């Protein structure tokens, strides 16, 4: 099972698409690791610098419809090879969300108010998250402030995360 703890990267925008996460020109790569330097390089977001802002981050918090666009699994892989295994958002595009769990990664949905509060309270601060997937809780903290947030993922998604992804799960079960 992958690690879902660590420092948070805030991406304050909705509809961040897969071309922004990893541009189509890198789809010719035949290995995942080759995607590492190009994560979010075309992201349109005021003040965001992919060269500086991604380093050392393990969790992304963002807004609605994250990962819309193409079906490329290169998008979750580009996160994975940068050590980011969890994205928390108001909502996800279907394929991206499925790709995350299929890779044994976490796509966690919270309602818009909860996400608004996370941005209001923590964005701009040095923030970290610790996740207990069995309890469905993560603890988010910055300096003195710390909050526990519960989330729900389906039993099935949880079994994919625990099996290490859908290929192993399907080959065993079907």
∠86-74-173 over CA atoms, to 5°?
75
Which member of 25, 135, 147, 162 binds other proteins (CB under 8 A)? 25
Which residues are CB-neighbours of 27 under 8 A, at least 6 positions away?
A: 72, 74
Site membership for other proteins, residue 73 (CB under 8 A): yes
Query: What minimum distance in Å lies between the beta carbon of 57 and other proteins?
Result: 22
Per-residue binder mask for other proteins (CB under 8 A), 88-127, x = binder: ---x-xxxx-xx--xx------------------------
Q: Contact between 80 and other proteins (CB under 8 A)?
A: no
What angle do the packed helices 166-173 and 155-163 form, to 10 degrees?
A: 100
Of residues 15, 117, 121, 130, which one binds other proteins by CB under 8 A?
15
* Contact assessment for residue 2 and residue 85, using Cβ atoms and an 8 Å cutoff: yes
Query: In angstroms, rounded to a whole number, what is the distance separating the alpha carbons of residues 84 and 103?
Result: 12
Sign of the Cα pseudo-torsion (142, 133, 66, 167, in order): positive
Closest of 27, 15, 43, 127 to residue 77, by C-alpha: 27
Nearer to other proteins, 44 or 120 (CB): 44
- Residue 141 touches other proteins, criterion: CB under 8 A: no
Q: Which of 6, 8, 20, 57 binds other proteins (CB under 8 A)?
A: 20
Is residue 166 close enough to count as binding other proteins by CB under 8 A? yes
Shortest spacing between CB 79 and other proteins, in angstroms = 13
**Is 85 near other proteins (CB under 8 A)?**
no
Question: Does 51 participate in binding other proteins (rule CB under 8 A)?
Answer: no
């Amino acid at each position: 099972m992958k690690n879902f703890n660590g420092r948070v990267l805030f991406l304050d925008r909705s509809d961040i698409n897969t071309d922004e996460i990893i541009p189509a020109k890198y789809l010719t790569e035949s290995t995942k690791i080759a995607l590492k330097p190009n994560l979010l390089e075309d992201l349109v977001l005021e003040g965001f610098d992919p060269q500086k802002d991604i380093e050392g981050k393990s969790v992304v918090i963002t807004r609605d419809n994250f990962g819309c666009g193409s079906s490329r699994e290169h998008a979750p892989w580009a996160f994975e090879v940068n050590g980011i295994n969890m994205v928390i958002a108001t909502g996800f595009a279907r394929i991206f969300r499925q790709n995350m769990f299929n890779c044994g990664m976490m796509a966690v949905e919270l309602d818009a108010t909860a996400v608004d509060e996370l941005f209001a309270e923590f964005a701009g601060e040095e923030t970290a998250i610790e996740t207990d997937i069995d309890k469905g809780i993560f603890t988010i903290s910055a300096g003195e402030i710390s909050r526990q947030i519960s989330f729900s993922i389906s039993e099935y998604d949880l079994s994919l995360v625990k099996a290490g992804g859908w290929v192993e799960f399907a080959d065993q079960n079907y």
